[in-house]
Structures are given as C-alpha cells and as structure tokens.
Chains A and B, each alone.
Chain A
C-alpha cells in the first residue's frame, strides 16, 4: 500500500535560517509521482512541485530546492533563507496511477513557523 510519512509535525525557525522538511514514501509501483503543496493560513493548496519516479535530478526554484532519493524513498524539501511568508503547512504527496484514476495520497503535513 502507498504511504507518505512526514515525521516532523512542526518546525520553528528564525527568519533567514535554512530549513529542510522531510518526506518518506512507500510504494510498490515503479511509476509514480511525488508532490509538495503549501497550505497557508488562508487554507488553499498551493502547488510547489511534481516529480516523476524516473527523474532523480534535484531541482532548485529560487529559495526552494528538492532532493529526491529513490534509494531511501525520500523527497525532501529545503527552504533557504526562510522568510515569515513561508509560514504554512507543507504537504508531501504521492500519486498512485491506476487504470481508473490518479489519486493523491498525502502525508500528515509539517507546520512551519518562521519567526521574525
């Protein structure tokens, strides 16, 4: 069965610190996708990244970077030089692609608090 574990329930950092959010997943599929979403206090889900299982290259987008390691089934997310606006709940998700659908399985989320 597919599963996503975000062991860090809550992280608190001071502005400008770097922070890494951990995500470990379980799947028997060879083809899958991994995602990160941000949920600010307003409640919407903001898409950050999608990565397929065949692309293990790390990705950087501004202050955000992602480290995908199939060997450890991890897809970690790092925010460099954190800002107060980064305060939110961050969800990692795994897609299960079946003949009938493409549902997302979410982790329990990590609440990030960036203090000024």
Chain B
C-alpha cells in the first residue's frame, strides 16, 4: 500500500537554528498538508498546499514557517529560527482529491534544545 514517507524520524536542533522537515507524499496525490502535535496535546493543522501554492494556513503558521515542493516529489516544511515551543511531532499528509481520505506519514519528532 502506498505510503507517505517522512524523514528524519527524529531531529534534535538548537534554538535559533533552521530546520527542514522532509516528506514524500503519495505520487498521484494533489493535496499536501502539515500538522503539528505538541507532546500530549491534540493534532493541529498548520498548512495545506495545492497546485504549488499554499491554499490555507493556520494562525500557528507564521512567518518563521514555509513550505515548498522543490522537485515534484518532495514536500518540505522549513522552520527558519526554531524556538523551544516548536518542539513537537510534525505530520505530513496527502490526499488525491479535496474530499478524498487522508494518508498521514509516520511523523518527525522535532526536539529544540
């Protein structure tokens, strides 16, 4: 069964550093998403991406965040200057059409020290 692949599974970074989280969505999917889950809390929507542009973003997704689909297969989330409160599990997801079911990746656990 096709999977959404996220790398790395765990990343530790120093406060103030830039970090890039990588995702490979399922190849025929058109909509891509990033979600965040702070430890012990609920999963929160960050951003959706369609047709090479952001289609919607949440209040969490401020100027320090950006997304990119650099080569037609990868989908990246960049955090420019990490803060301690960015420590969380970040999930990538994709779906083939706007109202189709989601497939989530297994997540990247980001720890900011």
Which chain A residues have a beta carbon within 8 Å of chain B's beta carbons? 33, 35, 37, 43-45, 47, 50, 91, 93, 97-98, 100-109
Cβ–Cβ contact B55 & A100, under 8 A: yes
Instruction: Find B98's partner among A43, A91, A102, A108 (CB 8 Å cutoff).
Output: A102
Cβ–Cβ contact A50 & B104, under 8 A: no
Cβ–Cβ contact A43 & B44, under 8 A: no
Number of A-B contacts (CB under 8 A): 57
Beyond the given A37-B104, A45-B91, A101-B55, could you list 9 further A-B residue pairs with CB under 8 A, ordered by the A residue number?
Answer: A43-B107, A43-B109, A47-B102, A97-B99, A102-B95, A103-B48, A106-B42, A106-B43, A109-B42
Most buried by B among A50, A93, A102, A104: A102
With the chains together, A40 CA to B93 CA distance in Å? 18
For B106, list chain A residues within 8 Å (CB). Answer: 43-44
Cβ–Cβ contact A98 & B104, under 8 A: no
Task: Identify the closest chain A residue to B46 (Cβ).
Answer: A103
For A33, list chain B residues within 8 Å (CB). Answer: 99
How many chain B residues have a CB neighbour from A under 8 Å? 24
For A103, list chain B residues within 8 Å (CB). Answer: 33, 45, 48, 56
> Shortest Cβ distance from A21 into chain B, in angstroms?
14
5 A-B pairs closest in CB distance = A101-B48, A100-B55, A101-B56, A44-B106, A106-B43
Instruction: Find A98's partner among B56, B102, B107 (CB 8 Å cutoff).
Output: B56
Most buried by A among B42, B44, B50: B42
Cβ–Cβ contact B56 & A47, under 8 A: no
Instruction: Find B102's partner among A91, A104, A109 (CB 8 Å cutoff).
Output: A104
